[in-house]
Amino acid sequence: MGGEVAVKKLWRLLRHDWPLHFVLLFTNWLPDNVPFLALRGACARPFIGRCGRGLKLGRNVVLYNPSRISFGNDVYLAYGCWFMAGAKIQVGDEVMFGPYCVVSSSEHTRQGRSFRCGVLKSAPIVIGDGCWLAAHVTLTAGVTIGSGALIAAGAVVSCDVPDNVMVGGVPARVIRQFTAA
């Protein structure tokens, strides 16, 4: 059984991780303007688990385990976003990520007196359609962000967010409810 796991891991690295790494490496010298954001996204698209049309990627975006990431249509990741897909990360349509957002579906646990050797705990992250995650937002493992939500800059989201609200703070809490348009 161990050989099967090693073959699957090698296939994932060859099919998704390494090609995406090289695409991002070779396109990082291009400026962050609309044509190059779209070009970077189009070049990266084949190496992401599921990816809709219109993906736009800023420079220095990092996607660990891209085979476990699902992007809807017209998703935008700004400069320096970091995705760690220990478990599935599902992003809906028309979602925007500001600079330096961190989305991590895995977290360390403590073993003895150390987090370094603790067991990795993973849980999926789901982000609904039409969300905006402003700069420096952090999403932790297991959260669900409702459709139409705005996550204020610098927020740390560690529990679920309902539809059509603005949340902010550390930890994030509801600041405002949006009315339907």
Please list the active-site residues. 108
What radius of gyration do the chain's Cα atoms show? 17
Q: How far is CA 20 from CA 12, 33, 46, 144, in A?
A: 11, 20, 8, 26
The phi and psi torsions of 108 (rounded to 5 degrees) equal -80, 150
**Torsion sign, CA atoms 98, 100, 106, 112:** negative
Q: Parallel, antiparallel, or unpaired: how do β-strands 120-122 and 165-168 relate?
A: unpaired
6 burial (CB, 10 Å; 0-12 / 13-18 / 19+) is: exposed
Q: Rounded to whole angstroms, how far apart are CA atoms 121 and 169?
A: 24
Closest to 86 measured CA to CA, from 46, 136, 121: 121
